[in-house]
């Protein structure tokens, strides 16, 4: 494994920066690796107007270290009462590039999310008309549905009828975790994209319970069984233009994760590109890494490719055991481990 790899600078099509001191701590990690990133809008309160998106973008930019070139791409948070005209206004003025559907109470800061997809059909119809992508957290929230089945049930009960009703709507199924999701995306020849996280490619649900309960492996959608991880690896490394990089890096303070009711989310930004390229190397698919990391995303969103290049080479880089944030600390993904690739 001595090969080095030069690719266009990657983008992260799904990341959580939070706000305030946490944002100041985490933005530099993403900006160090990626040219652009889709900044998720699940703040408290959520980003629901174009003006709020512009203000949030400015706050993120204030956390980018001097001399680093980085562009945050903003997203509207869909609520039951979202105004289709506001979505259009923000899209046309480039305040945001997409809108995110969080089913209400599906995950972190989703209390203002959508309680019933019927309530936002006028907004989604408007988005289809103007070519504004819909980004989806694809899990049903019915507590009677087993947590490991919530993505698959969402696909059949919500997403399948939605793509029939609005075939022109561009959709990204975010952080896919199942074979069913991969098959669903592959069955749609048009208007369908899908992000896959590095961590869902790297471990299955056993990691959450390895020798005891391990909160730093808990995220939503929760990791599934091994056959699903293998399906995700096959999709991500295939070169299929529908699949692209989205870390879902989601920082929570260590004390909020190491808790009787720990928060969902892995802070993967510090070694994100290294974690992904490792998977492509293991699969013997390094030739497809640039498509997944740097081409498929911008092509889906209709944005220009990055002109800058980065070189990755086999090596060794230590990931810190903890990272200071907001007067406390975060435990990153791969904390205290050596990753086997480095960015030159
Ligand atoms: O694990 C997760 N964390 N999944 C999500 O959908 C949200 C995210 C967060 O914001 O913490
Ligand atoms: Zn997310």
Token pair in block for residue 305? 């490719």
Query: Residue 200 pLDDT more than 70?
Result: yes
DSSP string, 136-164: E------TTS-GGGHHHHHIIIIIHHHHH
Q: Which atom of ligand 1 is nearest to the CA of 102?
A: 6
Average pLDDT of span 249-278: 98
Instruction: Find the 78 Cα to ligand 1 centroid distance in Å.
Output: 16
Average pLDDT for residues 51-68, to the nearest whole number? 98
Length of the chain: 344
- What are 215-257's pLDDT values in tens digits? 999 999 999 999 999 999 999 999 999 999 999 999 999 999 9
The full set of domain ranges for the chain reads 10-308
Q: What does the pLDDT read at residue 3?
A: 85
**Domain 10-308 is found in CATH 3.60.20.10:** no
153 pLDDT exceeds 90? yes
pLDDT, tens digit, 9 for 90 and up, residues 99-134:
999 999 988 899 999 999 999 999 999 999 999 999
- Compute the mean pLDDT over every residue in the chain, rounded to the nearest whole number: 97
Position 267 scores a pLDDT of 98
* 12, 47 Cβ separation under 8 angstroms: no
User: Over 70: is that where the pLDDT of 76 sits?
Assistant: yes
Q: Which of 110, 264, 266 to mutate to test the pocket of ligand 1 (most atoms within 8 A of CB)?
A: 264
Residues with CB under 6 A from ligand 1: 16, 42, 107-108, 137, 219-220, 250, 264-265
Nearest ligand to the CA of 195 is 2
Please check the confidence at residue 1 and state whether its pLDDT lies above 90. no
Report pTM.
Answer: 0.98
CA-to-CA distance for 31 and 36, rounded, in angstroms? 8
Q: Whose CA is nearest to atom 2 of ligand 1?
A: 265
- Residue 2: the pLDDT is 59
Percent over 70 (pLDDT), the chain: 99
């Amino acid at each position: 494994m001595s090969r080095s790899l030069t690719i266009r600078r990657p983008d992260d099509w799904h990341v959580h920066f939070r706000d305030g001191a946490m944002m100041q701590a985490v933005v530099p990690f993403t900006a160090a690796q990626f040219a652009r990133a889709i900044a998720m809008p699940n703040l408290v309160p959520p980003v629901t107007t174009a003006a709020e998106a512009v203000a949030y973008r400015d706050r993120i930019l204030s956390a980018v270290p001097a001399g680093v070139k980085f562009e945050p791409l903003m997203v509207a948070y869909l609520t039951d009462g979202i105004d289709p005209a506001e979505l259009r206004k923000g899209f046309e003025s480039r305040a945001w590039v997409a809108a995110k559907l969080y089913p209400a109470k599906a995950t972190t800061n989703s209390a203002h999310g959508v309680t019933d997809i019927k309530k936002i059909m006028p907004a989604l119809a408007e988005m289809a008309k103007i070519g504004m992508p819909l980004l989806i957290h694809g899990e049903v929230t019915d507590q009677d549905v087993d947590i490991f089945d919530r993505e698959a049930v969402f696909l059949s009960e919500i997403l399948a009828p939605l793509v029939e009703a609005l075939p022109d709507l561009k959709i990204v199924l975010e952080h896919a975790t199942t074979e069913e999701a991969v098959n669903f995306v592959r069955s749609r020849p048009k208007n369908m994209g899908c992000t896959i996280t590095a961590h869902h490619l790297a471990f299955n649900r056993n990691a959450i319970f390895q020798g005891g309960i391990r909160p730093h492996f808990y995220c939503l959608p929760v990791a599934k069984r091994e056959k699903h991880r293998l399906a995700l690896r096959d999709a991500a490394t295939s070169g299929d233009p529908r699949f692209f990089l989205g870390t879902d890096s989601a920082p929570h303070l260590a004390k909020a994760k190491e808790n009787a009711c720990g928060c969902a989310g892995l802070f993967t930004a510090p070694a994100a590109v290294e974690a992904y390229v490792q998977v492509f190397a293991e699969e013997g698919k390094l030739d497809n890494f640039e498509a997944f990391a740097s081409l498929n995303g911008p092509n889906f969103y209709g944005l220009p490719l990055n002109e800058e290049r980065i070189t990755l080479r086999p090596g060794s880089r230590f990931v810190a055991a903890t990272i200071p944030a907001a007067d406390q600390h975060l435990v990153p993904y791969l904390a205290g481990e050596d990753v086997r690739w480095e960015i030159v």
